[in-house]
C-alpha cells in the first residue's frame, strides 16, 4: 500500500494550484481568503510540493520552503515543511507516513537541508516521524495599569517615531537580518517573506486598525529597533475606553532601544490591554517592568525540528562547553541515522562521524531533535525516561554542551 501511495505522489503544477489550495483549506476546515487563489504565492516552491491524486481529485498535499535557520553559533539550510493535509476520506491509510518518508528520504539522498522543521497543528502527529518541539512561544497579556518600566531602565539618547510602511520595511529588514543570527530558531526573511509578512488585508484585521509601525533611531541616524502593532478599539459599558493593543513584533539591537519602543507602546491612548503575539517565553519585557506578574501567558510548543542527517546537523552548530561523547541514535523512520556517532564539539565548531566505540548515551532522534536548538535539556528528557545514560556523567556533560545562553525562539509561522 505504501509503495503504491509513493508512486502516486508527485509535485503539483501551477495550473493545479487552485485545486491544490482548495483541498488544503477544506481539509483544515478553512475557507481560502486573500490573494493567490488562482496563482501560487511568491514563496511557493511547487517543485518541492507533493500531491496525491485519486482520479481527478487531490486528496493529500504537502510542501517545502527553502529556509535558513539560526542554530547555536551558526546558520543552517532548513526544509520548512508546510501545506500538510489529508482528506478525511483517505486518513489511516498510510498517506501521511508516505509523504513524510518521501520528503525526508529525498532530502537525505539529494544531500539538501540537514534539518527539517514545521509548525504542528496537533501535538501527537509528528513525533512518530522524528520531529520534536524545539522552541516555545507564549501570547503574553497584561493590563496597562500594571505595566510600567522600572525607574532604573536606561532609555538612552535615541528617539522613537511613528513611520509609514515604506520607511519601516527596509530599516526593519536590515535590522532583522542582524539580530536573527544570534537567536536559535529564527528564520531568514528575503523579500518574498517580507512581502508575506507585511500583507495587511482588511478582512484579516477582525476589527483592528491597519498595522502601524515604529522605528527607534540613534542620534547619528542609525536605526536600532523596530516595532509593529495594531489597536482594536473598544468601549466598556461604563463608557470608559477599553482598547486592546496587539503587538506583532519588537526587535532591537540594544536594551535602550528595546525599552524605548516599549515605553511608547505602553503609552498609546485608550489602550487598557496589551497582547504580545508569539513572544519568546524569555522576552526581556518581563524583566523591564516593575510588576513581574503583570504579563501572563502559557508557553506552548512552536517550531518543531527534525534532524535529517545527524552528522551534518550536529556538525553545523556550536557547543558552549567542550563535548566528546559517543551517542547511539535510534531512528526507525530514517535508518541512515541509526547507530553510533562520535560527537566532538566546542565553542568554535563541531565534528560528528560514525564510530564503533561503545556509547555514552542512547536516545532517539526525536529527543536529539528536541535538544538541537538548546531549548530542551537532555537531563529533563532523561528524567522522563527518554535518554539512557551509559557512561556516568554523560547526560550532565551533554546537557551542558547542547545548551545555549539565548533561548531559542521562532516568531515566523509558515
Q: Name the grid cell of 256.
A: 535602550
Q: Known binder of ligand: residue 62?
A: no
- Find cell 533561548 and name the residue: 407
Q: Known binder of ligand: residue 159?
A: no
Q: Known binder of ligand: residue 93?
A: yes
Contact yes or no for 89/51 (Cβ under 8 A): no
Q: Known binder of ligand: residue 84?
A: yes
- Find cell 527607534 and name the residue: 216
Is 333 in the active site? no
Rounded to the nearest 10 degrees, how much is the dihedral formed by the CA atoms of 135, 141, 147, 150?
-10
- CA-based nearest residue to 273, from 237, 301, 236, 228: 236
Is 258 in the active site? no
Q: What angle separates helix 165-179 from helix 191-198, to the nearest 10 degrees?
A: 130
Query: Catalytic residue among 213, 226, 258, 414, which?
Result: 414
Q: Known binder of ligand: residue 95?
A: yes
Q: Known binder of ligand: residue 86?
A: yes
Query: Catalytic residue among 126, 131, 226, 333, which?
Result: 126
- CA-based nearest residue to 283, from 301, 259, 317: 259
Q: Known binder of ligand: residue 306?
A: no
Contact yes or no for 148/262 (Cβ under 8 A): no
Q: Known binder of ligand: residue 143?
A: no
Contact yes or no for 270/243 (Cβ under 8 A): yes
Contact yes or no for 353/311 (Cβ under 8 A): yes
Q: Name the grid cell of 412.
A: 515566523
Query: What is the set of active-site residues?
Result: 126, 414
Q: Which residues are annotated as a binding site for acetyl-CoA?
A: 84-86, 92-97, 121-122
Q: Which residues are annotated as a binding site?
A: 84-86, 92-97, 121-122
Amino acid at each position: 500500500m505504501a509503495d503504491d501511495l509513493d508512486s502516486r505522489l508527485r509535485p503539483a503544477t501551477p495550473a493545479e494550484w487552485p485545486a491544490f489550495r482548495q483541498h488544503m483549506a477544506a481539509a483544515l476546515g478553512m475557507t481560502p481568503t486573500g490573494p493567490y487563489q488562482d496563482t501560487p504565492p511568491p514563496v511557493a516552491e511547487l517543485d518541492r510540493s507533493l500531491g496525491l491524486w485519486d482520479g481527478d481529485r487531490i486528496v493529500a498535499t504537502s510542501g517545502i520552503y527553502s529556509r535558513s535557520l539560526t542554530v547555536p553559533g551558526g546558520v543552517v539550510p532548513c526544509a520548512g515543511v508546510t501545506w500538510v493535509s489529508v482528506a478525511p476520506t483517505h486518513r489511516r491509510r498510510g498517506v501521511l507516513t508516505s509523504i513524510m518518508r518521501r520528503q525526508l528520504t529525498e532530502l537525505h539522498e539529494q544531500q539538501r537541508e540537514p534539518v527539517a522543521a514545521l509548525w504542528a497543528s496537533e501535538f501527537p502527529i509528528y513525533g512518530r516521524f522524528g520531529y520534536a518541539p524545539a522552541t516555545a512561544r507564549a501570547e503574553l497579556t497584561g493590563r496597562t495599569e500594571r505595566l510600567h518600566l522600572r525607574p532604573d531602565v536606561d532609555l538612552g539618547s535615541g528617539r522613537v517615531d511613528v513611520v509609514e510602511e515604506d520607511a519601516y520595511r527596509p530599516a526593519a529588514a536590515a535590522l532583522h537580518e542582524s539580530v536573527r543570527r544570534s537567536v536559535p530558531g529564527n528564520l531568514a526573511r528575503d523579500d518574498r517573506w517580507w512581502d508575506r509578512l507585511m500583507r495587511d488585508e482588511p478582512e484579516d484585521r477582525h476589527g483592528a486598525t491597519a498595522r502601524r509601525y515604529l522605528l527607534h533611531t540613534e542620534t547619528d541616524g542609525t536605526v536600532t529597533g523596530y516595532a509593529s502593532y495594531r489597536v482594536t478599539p473598544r468601549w466598556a459599558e461604563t463608557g470608559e475606553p477599553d482598547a486592546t493593543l496587539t503587538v506583532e513584533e519588537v526587535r532591537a539591537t540594544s536594551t535602550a532601544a528595546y525599552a524605548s519602543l516599549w515605553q511608547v507602546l505602553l503609552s498609546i491612548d485608550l489602550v487598557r490591554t496589551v497582547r504580545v503575539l508569539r513572544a519568546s517565553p524569555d522576552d526581556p519585557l518581563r524583566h523591564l517592568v516593575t510588576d513581574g506578574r503583570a504579563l501572563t501567558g502559557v508557553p506552548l510548543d512552536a517550531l518543531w525540528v527534525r534532524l535529517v542527517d545527524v552528522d551534518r546537523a550536529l556538525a553545523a552548530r556550536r557547543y558552549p562547553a567542550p563535548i566528546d561523547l559517543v551517542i547511539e541514535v535510534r531512528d526507525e523512520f530514517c535508518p541512515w541515522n541509526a547507530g553510533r556517532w562520535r560527537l566532538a564539539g566546542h565553542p568554535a565548531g563541531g565534528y560528528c562521524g560514525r564510530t564503533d566505540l561503545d556509547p555514552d548515551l542512547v536516545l532517539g532522534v526525536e529527543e536529539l531533535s528536541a535538544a538541537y536548538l538548546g531549548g530542551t535539556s537532555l537531563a529533563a528528557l532523561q528524567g522522563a525516561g527518554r535518554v539512557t545514560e551509559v557512561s556516568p556523567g554523560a547526560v550532565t556533560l551533554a546537557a551542558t554542551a547542547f545548551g545555549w545562553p539565548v533561548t531559542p525562539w521562532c516568531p515566523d509561522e509558515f
